[in-house]
Structure 1
Amino acid sequence: MKKRLIIFSAGLLALTGCVKQEEVDLLQKELIQIKKELSEIKEDQNRIKEDISLLSKRVDNVSKVASQNSLEIQKIKSFGEIKPEKGKSEEIEREGEEKVKFPEKPEDLYKYGLDAYYKGKIEEAREAFSLFVKKFRDSELYDNALFWLGQTYYTEGRYDTALKIFSRLVNECMTGQISDCNKLPTAMLKEGYSLMKLGEVDKAKEVFKKILKEFPDTEEAEIAQKKLEVME
């Protein structure tokens, strides 16, 4: 009887010892897993620190660009970045067959179109500039009229048509079809803007870089440089 009790006790102790060893092994595995997770957390923290540092640099760059935006805003305003007054262009469309009587002299026609544009009468301005481009090809104001014709489409968000007109102006200037082309750098800038609006970012970059190369000392070049800095 005593032998059986001793054997039973020994077996129980052996079994108890075995269970404890299994628990130790399990704890060791859990400890290894915890260490691994801690290591991954540290790596994540390091990546987060790097991201924060990078974002801080970007914020600084954006702040620098923002602090210089007054020049660009003034320039854009000079380009006519305004929206038409509500009801003005609609009223012209509702009139249907009624046609506006435009001035006959080129200077007066150009001024008429410009005044109409700044008053928000975009459709009327477009008709005036379109008529000017057709009738007064040899006028010194031809490139200006062609530019503003493109601008009427740009203002309405019709960027594909605006791009065609700005590109036409750039091409005619670059190929010598227009002798005195003072609107060339501005037209190139708006060409780049139109490409950006259409999602053609790489092509827009090429245009802005070309402005820097061809017209480095102009306000258009300053604006192009800022655009490139933001796009990089």
Structure 2
Amino acid sequence: MKKAVLFFTVALVACGPITKEELDQRFAKVDERLNKLEERQRRLEEQSIKTETRVDNLAESFTKLRLDVERLKTGRETISPVKTPEETKRRVEVPQKAQEDYQREYDEAINLYNQKQLNKAKEKFIEFIRKNPQTPLTDNAYFWLGTTFRDLNELDKAEAVWLTLVERCKRGELPDCNKAPAAYLQLARLYELKGDQQKANEFYQNLMKDYPLSEEAQIAKRKLGK
């Protein structure tokens, strides 16, 4: 940018003597153009975030559809897929009324987010996690709480929430971790935004290692050129 301004100044001098007022006017025009370019870049970045959110919303819709199908098959309100004998031992059956309550509370939080009532959504997600620390929807609540913090531009809090989700899944503390791959991906993108490409690449690599069959892992492969 400094080189461009220097070149512009040299060009002005080469054109012959000009007054200070004329020079100020020309620099003002350059500043105006730079401001427009910066504004355009900001809008493009916002559009990128909105696109990511739409993709996340679509994934959320698929998740809810999957739960609805399972409810029709089994007659239960919510089903958590059992993957290992260890998970089977940890699994605790929840009364149907309790399942209905936490499903309703989660839906309320998601609806607030979709309506762009971010502060209210944030409080609802926090309340949901506090009241429901181990349900098939707790990982979803962590993920969307982090996303809400991101949309509020509270990036450090978003990072902390997504890291908590990743760590709880690694320790086997949640009955369902379908949102863990998405948390890995968002953390990698967050570190890219902060300019820490090395950290971002670590999360892309861990994503491919821990969840190789996920759609997010395919995105990580493309980002790393593999």
Is the pair's TM-score, using the shorter chain for normalization, greater than 0.5? yes
Percentage of identical aligned residues: 32
SS in 2 for 1:105: helix
CA distance in 1, matches of 2:133, 2:142: 10
Select 1:106's aligned residue among 96, 99, 102.
102
CA contact (8 A) 1:160 1:198 kept: no
Q: How big is the shift at 1:75? A: 6.2
* Residues in 1 aligned to 2:51 and 2:145: alpha-carbon distance in whole angstroms: 21
CA distance in 2, matches of 1:75, 1:218: 16
Aligned to 2:180: 184
Q: TM-score, normalised by structure 2?
A: 0.56
Asked whether the equivalents of residues 159 and 198 of structure 1 are also in contact (C-alpha less than 8 Å), the reply is no
Residue 206 of structure 1 and its aligned partner are, at CA, apart by 0.6
2:134 match: secondary structure: coil
8 Å CA contact 1:153, 1:162 repeated in 2: yes
* Alignment partner of 2:56 out of 71, 79, 82: 79
3-state SS in 2 of match to 1:111: helix
Change (3 A) 1:140 1:220: same
Distance 1:180 1:78 in 2: 20
Q: Which residue of 204, 220, 223 corresponds with 1:224?
A: 220
1:126 correspondence with 2:122 = yes
More moved, 136-145 vs 167-176: 136-145
Over aligned residue pairs, what C-alpha RMSD do you find? 2.5
Query: CA deviation digits over 1:138-185, x for unaligned, max 9?
Result: 221111111111110111222111011000000000011113211111
How many Å apart are 1:76 and its aligned residue? 4.8
Counterpart in the other structure of 1:213:
209
Could you list the runs of 5+ residues in structure 1 that have no partner in the other structure?
1-72, 82-103
Structure 2, gaps ≥5 residues long: 1-49, 59-99
What count of residue pairs does the alignment treat as equivalent?
A: 137
Alignment of 1:1-232 (within 5 A): 76-80=53-57, 105-229=101-225
TM-score of the superposed pair, with normalisation by structure 1: 0.54
Provide closer, same or farther for how the CA distance between residues 220 and 76 of structure 1 changes in structure 2, counting only shifts above 3 A. Answer: farther
Amino acid in structure 2 at the alignment position of 1:190: Q
Contact 1:163 1:195 in 2 (8 A): no
Structure 1 residue 137: Cα displacement: 1.0
Task: Give yes or no for contact 1:211–1:224 (8 Å, CA) kept in 2.
Answer: yes
What is the CA–CA distance in structure 1 between the aligned matches of 2:134 and 2:167, rounded to whole Å?
16
**Post-superposition shift, 1:228?**
2.4
Structure 1 runs (4+) deviating above 6 angstroms are none
CA contact (8 A) 1:146 1:165 kept: yes
Q: Name the amino acid aligned to 1:205.
A: N
